[in-house]
Chain A
Amino acid sequence: MRKSLIGLLLILSMVAVACGNSLEGQEVIYFGAPATDGPDGQAIQSSFDQFTEDTGIIVTYVGSENFESELLAQIEAGNPPNIALWPQPGTVRAQAEAGNLIPLEDLGVDLEEYRSNFSPYLVGLGEVDGVPYGGAHAVNLKSIVWYQPAEFDSRGYAIPDTWDEMIALADQIVAEGMTPFCFGMYSNGATGWLATDWMEDIMLRTGNGTTSYDQWVNHEIPFNDPIVKNAATYLSQIMHTDGYVVGGSDAIVSTFFGDAQNPMFERDGNGNPGCFMHRQASFIPGFWPEDAKEGLGTETTFFPFPDMEVPSDTVLGAGDMWAVLVNDEATQAVVDFMLSENYFDAIASDVAGTGSTRISAHIGFDTSKYWSPTTQKQADFLKAALAANVFRFDGSDNMPPEVGSGSFWSEMTELAVQGPGYIDTALDTIEKSWP
């Protein structure tokens, strides 16, 4: 009797195994730079909640400050994560060339569909010899200037549509005894990236617009070309005109970029803010003080970077990109999900409750799903730019590392310190360092 019962149980369990979803309980490790328990990490993890419920595949997001070096160690250890999320597409290409990544095609991704959903430009950033390795993830918007509408209105300032209007406004603010710009670019080992962002925004709007921008990024024109020099002169105008920047130009390199906007939220004895305009990417509200965060979209919002010599709708942005290191069925299912329209639902509607302001790179993503009206507005901008192919990726991220995260950063920092007389030396030095 007992024997037959055990036999029956055995058969039953075998049937259960055979019928059950074979992917049930499989683990997929997803490794990236935003820390696991930080706002972005929690948001990324939350985007898989529904997926895990539906498929039984357990996706664990792990984030680390030392993402890049830890990942390299784990690749060497033969113990890599299934999927990794890089902050720069350039690294995805480098890893693909090193043979550590699996092409999307081998994962069963329909490339046609992928390209049309995410724009050929974005997909191209993760390609090596025409083979896509990277999956576009989130994008952010850099071509924006943060300001406080109430402060503008009460003083009768208009949002500047052109560079000249912005300069005129800045002069007016200085004449009225206040400071127009917040500008801080200290960022530990990465100090200088903010100035490179400014340069890129200016480059997109001067010379021949996107054409000369692409030439510049790909080194088809030298770094000390007159077009680049012209752009640097514009930037120097902001950095080095007396009274334009909070704390004077000496404070630019010593102010942490995350704290740079704080003067805008403070009021002096006359009720005037410490600054009126701050050009910084869409992620900066994450660094604001708590009470300022609450005023996002109402008290503090943004206007597009003003037009310059070449009027255009060009948008400068950046974004992260994932790629697969370990190919198995569960990972393929996850990849399929991450390229789908619903992937960003949880992040956009802030299920994790962390106030994530990440924006999906999927052109078909319904922007009304974003919890914050500010993010929604930014996403609309980005979507239009992606669809019109005038979205351009942060150029310094696409230059060789010796320049993009080397001499370009350090020389721009030096330029901020030395003043306009240093422009020629800076550009010549960067040009010489191009490998």
Chain B
Amino acid sequence: MNYTQKWYDKPISKLILISISLTWMFPYIGFLLSSFREPDAIKQAAWWTSIFSGQIFTEFTFENYTEILFAEDLSRSFFNSFAVVIPSTIIPITIAAFAAYAFAFIDFKGKDLAFLFVIAMMIVPLQMSLIPLVSIMNKGAILFGLPIIPELKITGTFVSVWFAHTGFGLPLATFLLRDFMMGLPRSVIESAKIDGASHLTTFYRLALPLSFAGVAAFATFQFLWVYNDFLVANVFLGINPRNQVITSHVAQLTVGNYGEAWHLRTAGAVVSMVVPLIVFFSLQRFFIRGLIGGAVKG
């Protein structure tokens, strides 16, 4: 049999890979189990001791979940989350796709410098720019007596979160899509040009449909990140519970008084994981293809 064994087919590699996965999953198994245990039981014994002593069956409960799932206004928070996530995914993709096309197929002066600038933006830590950004959105910005950015006073609204997420997502989106478009067969684009297609036609008819996998990959990524985001939403939406997104609502539900409610925390973590898991598993095909496509061909 002329079968060459790949390195990852060897039993020893498999063993290592499986043990890495198990180690990685260990905390997740822990909180999944703990989320079904009674509050006092969690505080008294660790979940592994309760497995070995068989106590896990007697202390099994759905209480933690009912307390969270039937919380007041949870549906409103879900709705708010989607009101944040959907525009925050679509807007950066739209802008980035145009930018990526320009970076990939149009020659203009200072292109490399402009692209370098976009890449450089990826290095700026989000946490550092949060407060300046929020204060600009509120008070505007004045440079040498000239108002460069008007007093928008939009903090505490959904628009401000869309802006923020668009800003934070754009550099990566532009980078990924540009790399993906660079990988498209150049001859196809050139023949379109010879046939007299304008840039806009080329973009809509060729570049965009062909880079669907790249767009889907970034959409998945952005969706997951925005949905899971707690910090940006909290800072820009303010503390009014009407604006609350699901992550901050779950965080709030699971605190107890001062953070002692472990039983709710574990159940809350599981609840908040449901949507990202659905999104990831239904789109992971694109996700992996898109990321690798950009990386290898770029």
Contact = CB atoms under 8 A, between A and B. Distances in A.
Given A34-B258, A37-B255, A289-B43, A76 B239 contact: no
Contact of A65 (B40, B240, B259): B259
A259 B155 contact: no
A287 interface: yes
B40 A289 contact: yes
Nearest to B132: A76
Contact of B255 (A38, A76, A290): A38
Nearest to B261: A38
Interface residues of B, number: 32
Contact of B257 (A35, A60, A73): A35
Contacts of A60: 240-241
Given A65-B251, A289-B40, A74 B257 contact: no
A274 to B, nearest CB: 13
A95 interface: no
Interface string A298-325: 0000000000000000000000000000
B40 A38 contact: no
B298 interface: no
B40 A290 contact: yes
A419 interface: no
Given A77-B156, A77-B236, A289-B40, A65 B137 contact: no
A63 B255 CA distance: 10
Given A77-B134, A77-B235, A289-B43, A29 B240 contact: yes
Q: Would you call the interface of chain B mostly helix, strand, loop, or mixed?
A: helix
A78 B239 contact: no
Given A29-B240, A37-B71, A81-B239, A76 B257 contact: no
A37 B241 CA distance: 12
B257 A39 contact: yes
Interface string A12-39: 0000000000000000010101111111
Nearest to A72: B131
B40 A77 contact: no
A38 B264 CA distance: 11
Given A79-B155, A290-B39, A73 B235 contact: yes
A37 B71 CA distance: 9
B43 A78 contact: no
A259 B43 contact: yes
A70 B255 CA distance: 16
A247 interface: no
B132 to A, nearest CB: 9
Contacts of B44: 289
A76 B134 contact: yes
Contacts of B129: none
B292 to A, nearest CB: 38
Contact of B239 (A35, A62, A289): A62
B80 interface: no
A20 to B, nearest CB: 23
A74 B258 CA distance: 21
B130 interface: yes
Given A35-B252, A37-B252, A78 B257 contact: no
Contacts of A287: 260
Interface range for A: 20 to 34
Nearest to B230: A66
Contacts of B259: 65
B289 interface: no
A404 to B, nearest CB: 19
A33 B256 CA distance: 11
A33 B235 CA distance: 16
A38 B155 contact: no
B238 A38 contact: no
Nearest to A354: B257
B239 A74 contact: yes
B27 to A, nearest CB: 18
Contacts of A81: 239
Contact of B258 (A38, A62, A78, A289): A38
B139 interface: yes
Nearest to B131: A76
A96 B241 CA distance: 26
A79 B158 CA distance: 14
A209 interface: no
Contacts of A286: 257, 260
A73 B230 CA distance: 14
Contact of A63 (B40, B238, B252, B260): B252
Name the residue in A35, A36, A259 with the highest tally of chain B Cβ atoms < 10 Å from its Cβ: A35
B256 A35 contact: yes
A64 interface: yes
A81 B243 CA distance: 14
Nearest to B234: A70
Contacts of B40: 289-290
Nearest to A66: B234
A40 interface: yes
Contacts of B255: 35, 37-38, 63, 65
Contacts of A70: 234-235, 239
Contact of B153 (A29, A62, A78, A290): A78
Interface string A277-290: 00000000011011
Contacts of B99: none
Nearest to B138: A78
B250 to A, nearest CB: 10
B41 to A, nearest CB: 10
B253 interface: yes
Contact of A74 (B139, B238, B253): B238
B133 to A, nearest CB: 9
Contacts of A62: 239-241
Given A29-B240, A62-B241, A74-B238, A37 B153 contact: no
Given A38-B258, A62-B239, 15 more contacts: A33-B258, A35-B255, A35-B257, A37-B71, A41-B257, A60-B240, A73-B131, A77-B134, A77-B156, A78-B139, A79-B156, A79-B238, A259-B43, A289-B43, A289-B44
Interface of B: 39-40, 43-44, 71, 130-131, 134-135, 137-139, 153, 155-156, 234-236, 238-241, 251-253, 255-261
5 contacts: A31-B239, A62-B241, A73-B130, A73-B131, A77-B134
Interface of A: 29, 31, 33-41, 60, 62-66, 70, 73-74, 76-79, 81, 258-259, 286-287, 289-290
Closest 7 CB pairs of A and B: A35-B255, A78-B138, A38-B257, A77-B155, A77-B134, A79-B156, A79-B238
